[in-house]
Every structure is written in C-alpha cells, then in structure tokens.
Amino acid sequence: MPRSPSSSKTPSPRPRPGSGPSRARRRAAVLVLALAATASLTVPAAATHPRPPVKQPVATGYGGAVSTVDPDASRTALEVLRQGGNAMDAAVAAGATLGVTEPYVAAIGGGGYLTYYDAKTRRVHAIDGREFAPKRMGPDAFLDPATGAPLPFDQAVTSGLGVGVPGTLAQWDLGLRRFGTRDLDDLLRPAIRIADRGFVVDQEFHDQTAANAARFRDIVPTRELFLPDGKPPAVGSVFRNPDLADTYRQVAKRGTDWFYEGRLGKEIVRTVARPPVDPSSTRNVRPGLMTRDDLDAYRALVREPTHVAYRGMDVYGMPPSSSGGATVGEALNILGNFRLDRRDPVTALHYYLEASKLAYADRARYLGDADKVNVPLAELLAPGFARERACLIKPNEAAVAPVAPGSPDGVYEPCVPPGTQTRALAFEGPQTTHLVVADRWGDVAAYTISIEQFGGSGITVPGRGFLLNNQLTDFSFQPPPPGSPPDPNLPGPRKRPRSSMAPTLVLKDGSPRLALGTPGGSTIITTVLQILINRLDLGMTLPAALTAPRATQRNTPQVFAEQAFIDAYGRELAARGHRLDPFPGPPTGVIGAATALEILRPGLVQAVAEPTRRGGGSALVVRPVE
C-alpha cells in the first residue's frame, strides 16, 4: 500500500516547465545511467577519482538556493532546481545524496523532520518522518531483566533494541506526493551515480569512521563496508558504496513499498532480530523487537506546525514528537517580554540562557509523542504562560539550575516561586545533519535528517550499504520513581521518541524570510534559538549569526559553551551567576553545524553554511549575484 495515507487527496503538483520525458523513458534513462556507472568501476582509478570538493559557506543570488554540509549534496539540489524541480524535489535529492556522502548521520535506515512553505497556498506544513518503536516495546524495554537497572548506554546504542522503524523513505514519498514535481526514481539518480563513482574522503569522514572503528569491527557487514583493509579510509582516498547504489536502484524501480512491505523490509527485520555480529566478538549486541508488521504499519505524517509571533515575525517549527518547535517557541515567547539591545549583548545573552533554562524544564516535564501522551502544546506556547515564566528571570542574577517546570494550566499568575526539582536531562545524540532549499517560485524547505549517533546502531543491513538508526535510545530508559510526575518520553508500542530536531521557518507578512536548522542533539534547540536572537535582536547578518560563538543552557547547573564564547562573555556572565564550562562534545568544543538561508528581497536569496564547524558546509545559488 502507498506510504502516503492521504495520496487520494493529494492536490495536483505545480506544472513542470516544458514537456518532460515519460516515466518509461525516465526509467530507461536510469537503467542506462546505472549500466554506465557500473562499467566505470572497471576504469583505472586515476581516471575516475573526483577532485576534492571546494566548500563555499555563503552564496547570494537568484533562481533558488541550497545549503547543506556537503558539496555533492548541495550540487545535487542545485541541479534539480536548475532543471525545474522545486524545493521539495531538491530537498529529497539532497537527502538521498547525503545518505551516500554522510552515511553516519543520514541514511534510509533513519528518519527526520521537514518543515515546508508552499508558495501556492502560502502555508507552512510539517512532515514527520520520525521513527517509531515496535509494537512489542514497553516502558521497561531498556531495563536489564537480570538486575532491573537501565542498560549501559553503549549497549543500548549498538543493538537491535535501539533500532526504530525507519521513516526516511516514507517521508520522501509523502513529501513528493503532496508537494513535489518529480518522481523519486528521477531524484535518486545523482545519489546512485555518486555511490558508484565514489567521493573523496575528507578529515571529517575519516574521524567519524575512526571514532566508530571498535564497534564497526564487531559487526561483519559494517566492517566490510566502512573499514576497508581493516582500517578507516584514508583522507584523500575515494570511498565507493556499490551496495547502496544498487539499493537505491531497486527503490527507484520497485517503489518505497519494497522497503516497507517487500524483500528489503524482510532483510531489515532479520538484521534487527539477529544482528550480524562477528562470532569472535565479545560485544553484547542485543536483538531488537521489530517485526514485518511494524514496517507495514509505519506512516509518515503531515502535521500542523508550531507557531509563535516574535518581533513582528511568525516563527514556525516542528510539533511533537519533536520538542524543537515547542521549546524554541516557548523560549521566544519568554524573550518577547524583554528588550534585547544589540549594544548590550551580555544582558541579551543572559536572558537567552535564562529563557532556555525555563523552556527546557518544561520540555522534560511535558513533551513527548502527542499521539501517545497528552501534551499541553497550546498552553506551553500561550503568551500568558510565557509571562508567568518570564517573571522568574532576574536581570542581573542567574537562577540556580535545575529549575522546576511551570504549570501550563491556562490560569496564570503574575509570578510563581522558583523551584529546584526537575527531571535530569536525558542523553540525545548530536549526530544529525540539516539542509535548507528555496526555489524560484518561493517554496522553502528546512529538513533535518538523522540516524541518531555517528554511525547509528553500527548495524549495516548486509549487502544493502546503509546503517540502521539507534533512535529509540532517545526514549527515557527508566520510569520515574513512585510518586513522581509521569514521564512523557518512556518507550511504548509504535511510539515516536522525543527529539530536539528543529527545522525552522520564519515568515514576515506571510512570506518566507528565514529558514534554518542544525544537528546537535539536545543543543539543536539552543543553537536555533541563538541564531534567531543573533539575527533578529542583535542585528547580525545571517553569516555572522551562524559564525558567532555558541553556548547552550539546557537546565543544567553549568552553561556549556565554545571556547570563543567563554573568552568573549565568560567573565561578565559569571558575574551574574552563570557557570560556564567548555562544551564536552562530541565533537569536543563544537556546538552544532547549522545551515540557513534568508530571503533578502523577492527572488534574491542568501544561502549560508558553517565556515569551519565540523569541516564547514556548502552554500550554492542557481544564479549568483555578480
């Protein structure tokens, strides 16, 4: 059955410019391209090695724009835009390419969230491709049955138990059915070509492989794919993934149901139930609970985005199961009660840190999968609740963290007493990636993709060229003690684990102004929030807003920050009671790796990527300003 639950109600896509080739001709072209790519593997290596890509962090121009972490992915999206595809088409094509070049953070074995502005209807939509838990998973799934204690985190990560039912392909299918103008088989072509041809290994890819080498060696197909000759690929070498190229070809030919209902789904379930561990390994890789019925039951969903007003702008984000839109929105509502002066950045940052602290307390207490638990989303984003929380902030003194959650009950007092008890911050892996795309018609996509940890579960589906996620480790591992408030993020059947992913769109007078997002686990929210404050309150250009040093306050006793932030603001913020420590990572000392774009005026777009964090990113436009 089709992955889109509403395909019968799908509006007709925007007409394509010109008369494109028929589906049969396009499929024939895919076959010819595939045969040519396969033949190229027999050509001497020196003749086929691509040159190391050049990354450009800022591009300004017309006709559409893209920013990703990877030049190949950005070029793929740009080519789709040049050929008349729209922002959804380009986002999917870029995501497929990232599955090749960034396999440890983006893969069809994972999921993600996408916010999309449809210029035709002038509406923002949120497409939820988050993985969900198997039907057999209960609240004690991550407790050791022998001891009753939570499993060690590394054992939960590298296991079938942590693998959620993947959502990426269903999300692509739904997004293209609702908003795209190209077929998935067309959009997979560039990724197939790159997987066959190979890409140049950079330092980031090498380091991510090296960080995973010990566990990768214990999983036979993962070792064979990612540790050629028993070690991480050398910087400057060419990495090829013909297995993934063939998997993409089969998806192009057979459709996404081959993944969810067909042979590939059967292989995924078998891999999760019996992880292919080297018999000589001593690693305890637990089996998972996924069944064929779980794959068949999965659906990506179109949801109503979160929305708050801030400084005359409309800020849209991802609703639960992600906590990103709600927590960014609540923090902005709190900050809206204060004047942030660009001439006094220390005070502005103090308010930013305090608002984050309060919003994270509420996130831990109330946010989870709204399909499974009661989430008071409207009240969390109510101006009255924000005023009640804002009254706890002192202009010259940081509150002692952790602070208690508020009461989003619809009855708001001028002030409530500060508390000191809250749930501990749950671990959430920072290994994700984000991309943004705008097209010539004014459509805009902000898309965050993840398999959770760098390398996900570490388990590769044999012969298929992609890793499976460990997203279920985003659940809380242990139920709260008796008498404590309920935890909305405990595991449950077909439940989506809470995420911090925050693909964000900002509109002015109904038209897109900004699109942004970042990887970073639970620091995603603070990174998006800080970039918005930098741009909207402190008057920075968008490139400066991304480059500025970062700090993250997630209702913990200390503020974790990049060293440049500590050097610039540490002494003055410490005088107000903030305890600043270097961000421990991973990666050490680096918070996030954002991509963003800004509509400078109708038709003129500036795409922005990181210049240095995680090796920098790649921003491109169709027609650059000369």
Query: How distant is the alpha carbon of residue 579 from its chain centre?
Result: 29
The mean-pLDDT minimum among 33-42, 282-291, 513-522 falls in: 33-42
**Mean pLDDT score of the chain, rounded to an integer?**
90
| Amino acid 416: pLDDT | 58
CA distance linking residue 290 with residue 268, whole number of Å? 9
The residue type of 345 is: P
448 is catalytic: no
Residue 111 bridge partners (DSSP): 450
pLDDT at 546: 98
Q: Span 429-456, mean pLDDT?
A: 88
Any bridge partners for residue 62, and if so which? 623
pLDDT given at position 53: 66
> Please, what CATH class does the domain formed by 58-305+432-624 belong to?
alpha beta
Region at 530 (left for phi over 0; alpha for psi -120 to 50; beta for the rest): alpha
CA atoms within 13 A of residue 272's CA, in its CB half-sphere:
27
Q: Which residue has the higher pLDDT, 598 or 427?
A: 598
Q: What is the pLDDT of residues 182-201, one digit of tens each?
A: 999 999 999 999 999 999 99
CB contact at 8 A, 363 and 323: yes
Q: What is the CATH number of domain 324-391?
A: 1.10.246.130
| Phi-psi label, residue 366: left if phi above 0, alpha if psi -120 to 50, beta otherwise | alpha
List alpha helices for 180-254, DSSP H: 184-187, 189-197, 203-218, 220-226, 242-254
Burial of residue 220 (CB within 10 Å: 0-12, 13-18, 19+) is middle
| pLDDT of 274 strictly over 80 | yes
Structural contact between residues 561 and 549, judged by C-beta atoms closer than 8 angstroms? yes
pLDDT number for residue 413: 79
| Per-domain residue ranges of the chain | 58-305+432-624, 324-391
pLDDT cut 90: percent of the chain above it = 85
In the set 432, 523, 526, 527, the catalytic residue is: 432
Q: Kindly report whether the peptide bond that precedes residue 402 is cis, defined as omega within 30 degrees of 0.
A: yes
| pLDDT number for residue 42 | 26
Give residues with Cβ within 8 angstroms of 160, minimum separation 6. 271, 272, 273, 274, 275, 285, 286, 287, 288, 289, 290, 457, 459
Better pLDDT: 426 or 94:
94
Secondary structure of 269-336 in the HEC alphabet? HHHHHCCCECCCCCCCCCCCCCCHHHHHHCCCEEECCEEEEECCEEEEECCCCECHHHHHHHHHHHHC
Q: Could you give the CA distance from residue 413 to residue 478 in angstroms, rounded to a whole number?
A: 34
pLDDT band at 13 (very low <50, low <70, confident <90, very high): very low
pLDDT at 32: 35
Say what the pLDDT of residue 3 is. 54
Supply the pLDDT for residue 52: 59
pLDDT computed for residue 366 by the predictor:
97
Integer Cα distance of 605 and 409 in angstroms: 42
b/e 540-556 (16+ beta carbons within 10 angstroms → b): bebbebbbbebbbbbbb
pLDDT of 1 reads 44
Question: What would the pLDDT profile of 28-48 be if each residue is shown by its tens digit?
Answer: 333 333 333 333 232 333 334
| Average pLDDT over every residue of 598-625 | 95
Taking only the tens place, the pLDDT of each residue in 540-579 is 999 999 999 999 999 999 999 999 999 999 999 999 999 9
**DSSP bridge pairs for 504:** 516
Q: pLDDT value at position 586?
A: 80
Asked if the model's pLDDT at residue 401 lies above 80, the reply is yes
Q: pLDDT band at 585, cuts 50/70/90? A: confident
Q: Name the more confident of 294 and 107.
A: 294
- pLDDT for the residue numbered 359: 98
Which residue is it, tokens 């067909």?
A: 262
Which residue ranges are tagged as binding site for L-glutamate?
Answer: 130, 474, 499-500, 521
DSSP H or E segment with residue 30: helix 23-40
Q: Which helix (H) or strand (E) holds 623?
A: strand 618-624
Contact 65, 622 (CB under 8 A): yes
Annotated binding residues, as ranges? 130, 474, 499-500, 521
Question: Computed over its alpha carbons, how large is the radius of gyration of the chain?
Answer: 23
Q: In terms of Cα–Cα distance, which of 452, 492, 454, 448 is closest to 471? A: 452
